Structure 1
């Protein structure tokens, strides 16, 4: 990882009635650091950068209460309607209307796990409380594809001209609901960079979305860890690599299945027979697993740590720190090609 972190902010001791220094998306904060945001004080649980207090979904910021002399948030201006106040971290289904702290009403254009309406692309406004619904002053973002994914089907096909017919675009977009923050967090550039980073690593792992299963069958019997209490109910050789990020080992099939609500421990073949399931397992790893790295690939991209950090999270010391520069360069080349297809820039820290 290259480049030094700038402006690391030490913890400060703001009182409950005083507002700490205002949070900045460009600064890095150590664990214990105090900031203020939207009239409330927040404390960082661990190192963070560009994760909005109360809205990032990562849980990094602890709410320390209202500041600036008030013990409760300022009430929203009276609008004569009964829509509830927005609550950070609360799930909202498509179509839900909430009153934000600025007094405006916002409607969920997609299911939303509780991101801040001001920064989330899933909300648009305003909705009047007099029975009318005027045209929004700021139009809702235009999805680049009917699926709402930042990669259109034409772009997907351009990225993977020789892909196996199993890896369908429809399967990918059907899987996106499992992790709604994927490629929908941050600016348009960040969203496109994350999608490109995910697909570039997938491209490398599968030879251009050609291979659905691990090619070395001699390895198949090695992926059963009998020390696990649940064993290998599908068989000793049933947990070989499958899918876009080649899910392997019985404990990974169980963990992914538990997270997704799919019994993959007993039915590992679903990863090679159901395209949506296959894509969901890849998104499970990308969004929830740090692997041999220090953070999830998702967090690496949305927090500006760069494509190189995603390589570290997927293959760690096998490729990084000069161990296998040719493999790293293969991933980087795919990423650079894919961001070009999506009409954006690759950002920094491409290598690990």
Structure 2
């Protein structure tokens, strides 16, 4: 694979809460904290009820319609939820403006005419995209807005955790070849991708994959490897099948810049497409191009010890995905600028998805 770039800034260590003895009906467990990572069996309290985590989770609100990770253990502390602050008596809140700093508690009127309250400080993230930072707000009872935050991807039947609007926000200068439709069409090839674990893990994996892709392609700008002098290097004649498409046919293409005849052979065999004989499909068919990237992400360890998919769903962190993609050239201090570039993209994409990046960002 060709070298990619992203940064290596180690984030602060996350607080991790493990299993605890269940709280009694009369006592509330420790209050749920969106910044804390909880392992299966951990107990928390939220809005007057106790909840128990079914598996690893972070930033998934107990009781939210979109989260099935928390099991309701019943009322605590007297059995009633704490009183909610009354809604504002007027609807004179200012219009939301992108790029404006909003402190937690700020209320704005969005372009759809509905009101949103900042749950966390943010530099003007879009209320209907960054739903971790914003929640719908009932203004004076006259314009309550949705009862639950809008889904992150309301129109995409694939259920991908990245909406088309978020995808476009991540890649404002992308090549028209890299379509969102091509990406979602490729997801069926690897159904576990960005659909394993809770919402936090799903979003973190999607952000990690797209951050590495961003680095490999210069922001989804380049479809083929730019250094043509390298083209003839990617033919390993020792392979029994050789290079039927030609000595210079297996240069880098697609979201992870798939290269070498043996990678085209392995990816094509896995996907049921003869890429060894037809490598150009990776630069002419968007769905096939995305599938090759997902093939590597979900099945190849590269110079690392695990696949990037396993690194993200098993809590090993973004840094381990860098190691699996280009660790022999970048990790261990070999190219810290490239590592940091990847990390920067990952942190930016997690902000767009409204999820924390987690720990172990560098390799």
Q: Deviations over 1:292-337 (max 9, x none)?
A: 0000000000000000000000001211011111100000000000
Q: Secondary structure at the match of 1:327?
A: helix
Task: Select which of 185, 190, 193 maps to 2:201.
Answer: 190
Aligned residue in 1 for 2:361 = 350
Give the aligned partner of residue 268 of structure 2: 257
Equivalent pair of 2:319/2:360 in contact (CA under 8 Å): yes
The unaligned stretches of length 5 or more in structure 1 are: 7-23, 28-48, 51-140
Alignment match, 1:273: 284
Corresponding position of 2:224: 213
Residue 165 (structure 1) aligns with? 176
* Aligned mates of 1:348, 1:330 — CA distance in 2: 16
Q: Secondary structure at the match of 2:291?
A: helix
For 1:250 and 1:233, how far apart are their aligned partners in 2? 9
For residues 59-70 of structure 1, the aligned pairs below 5 Å read: none
Question: Normalising to structure 1: TM-score of the pair?
Answer: 0.61
**Match in the other structure for 1:232:** 243
Residue 154 (1) aligns with residue 155 (2): no
Task: Find the partner of 2:343 among 315, 324, 332.
Answer: 332
Q: Secondary structure at the match of 2:188?
A: helix
- 1:144 maps onto 2:153 in alignment: yes
Q: In 1, distance between residues paired with 2:354 and 2:151?
A: 15
How far is 1:144 from its partner? 2.3
| Map of 2:312 onto structure 1 | 301
Give the number of equivalent residue pairs: 225
* Highest RCO, 1 vs 2 (Cα 8 Å, sep ≥ 6): 2
Partners of 1:317 and 1:351 in 2: CA distance: 14
Q: Does 1:242 align with 2:253?
A: yes
Question: SS in structure 1 opposite 2:183?
Answer: helix
How far apart in 2 are the matches of 1:318 and 1:232? 26
> 2: distance between equivalents of 1:185 and 1:211?
30
Extract unaligned runs of 5+ from structure 2.
1-7, 17-38, 43-54, 57-149
Please report how far the alpha carbon of residue 143 of structure 1 lies from its aligned counterpart in structure 2 after TM superposition. 6.5
Partner SS, residue 319 of structure 2: helix
Aligned residue for 2:295? 284
Residue deviations 1:240-290, cap 9 Å, x none?
A: 000000000000000000000010000000000000000000000000000
CA RMSD after TM alignment: 2.5
The residue correspondences of 1:47-196 to structure 2 (distance < 5 A) are 144-145=153-154, 146=156, 147-196=158-207
Is 1:222 aligned with 2:233?
yes
Whether the 8 Å CA contact 2:153–2:164 is kept in 1: the answer is no
Give 3-state SS (helix, strand or coil) of 1:144's partner.
coil
- Cα contact 2:152–2:162 (8 A) shared by 1: no
Change (3 A) 1:26 1:324: farther
Cα deviation for residue 142 of structure 1 reads 5.6
